[in-house]
Amino acid sequence: MNTVQKKLVESYATLVMGERMKIEDVPETKAIGANAYVIRSEVEIEIANRTINALV
């Protein structure tokens, strides 16, 4: 994952966890340059990682 993707995933995860956005509103894929990247599943993974870290 490149820097742009990482920042995008972190931003979406923050918005979803802060209840400013629903996970369904996160695009399934996002075009970054000439490539389309899966974003929603990465956001779900980021949220799960943050939740686990908060519980540990």
The overall pTM is greater than 0.95: no
Number of domains in the chain: 1
The pLDDT score that the predictor gives to residue 47 is 97
User: What is the span of the domain harbouring residue 7?
Assistant: 3-55
Cα(46)–Cα(54) distance, integer angstroms: 12
pLDDT for 2: 84
Residues of the chain below pLDDT 50: none
